[in-house]
Amino acid sequence: MVKLDNDVKELVRSYAASLLEGYKIVLACLLSVFVPQLCPETQQTCTFRENFSNLSDYNILVIVINFLCLAFFLRLSYRQNKRETYLITHLDASREYAVSAFETNSASFPNVVIRVKQHNRNVIQAARQAAFVFVINTILSAVLVCHFYYDGFRTVTTLITNVLLVSGQLFNVWSVLTECTCTEGVELALSTYQTTPIGYNVLDKDYVERKRGKVELTTVVSAPTAAGTKTA
């Protein structure tokens, strides 16, 4: 039986969590599609196909905003996955150190610290933009489904449920990245996907060995040969 590396296990868990969140994001962003609506023509709940036919100008606007919101969340998810992959492949979590020891323990590889800082800021920027569009999307969609195409109490309950699906995730990403960038001037490398919060605070041994191996190989290859020495 093949034994999976710890990094591989963590990557699989993070990608699985990302896929689950992706399903929630689709439901929460495309509110004009997945929230039950009453079709005036049939006086019955609109089908998926009817949600895209005989649309008013306002309905078209809301659908466009829905897909725009989805695009912002997909961008956030992409940056989040990119950051998580970098943390898993370059860092480890050690109970011997506090989470705030990340920069100190990574001082020998300053490029890692720089990249983590860049990832932190990229994700929190994407989260801010997604949150802004999400609020606008929710308001416009709520007016559409509750005022123009209200289909009873389930319209409200589905709308609220779908919005809450992503609100919790967005708040989690926001709070984690805020902590990473605003903790008394110390940069942190906290996971945003793991169920149990993980604080990466030491360099990954495999990464260190690979980097040192490349340095040693480069040194050997580029070392000048002694004068008068024949080479094979």
* Distance, CA of 130 to CA of 123 (rounded, Å): 10
CB-count burial class (<10 Å; 0-12, 13-18, 19+) for 230: exposed
Query: What does the pLDDT read at residue 106?
Result: 86
**Averaged pLDDT, 139-166:** 91
pLDDT in tens, 173-210: 888 888 888 766 788 888 887 655 577 878 888 787 77
Query: What does the pLDDT read at residue 60?
Result: 93
* pLDDT of 225 over the 90 cut: no
**Averaged pLDDT, 142-171:** 90
DSSP string, the chain: -PPPPHHHHHHHHHHHHHHHHHHHHHHHH-HHHHS--EETTTTEEPPTTGGGSS--HHHHHHHHHHHHHHHHHHHHHHHHHHHHHHHHHHEE--TTS-GGGHHHHTTT-HHHHHHHHHHHHHHHHHHHHHHHHHHHHHHHHHHIIIIIS--SHHHHHHHHHHHHHHHHHHHHHHHHHHHHH-BTTB---B-SS-SS--B--EE-HHHHHHHHHHHHHHHHHHPPPPTT----
Name residue, tokens 């605003």: 182
Q: How many residues does the chain have?
A: 232
Name residue, tokens 């000048």: 224
The tokens for 93 are 């979590």
Query: What does the pLDDT read at residue 119?
Result: 93
pLDDT in tens, 72-107: 999 999 999 999 899 888 888 888 888 888 888 888
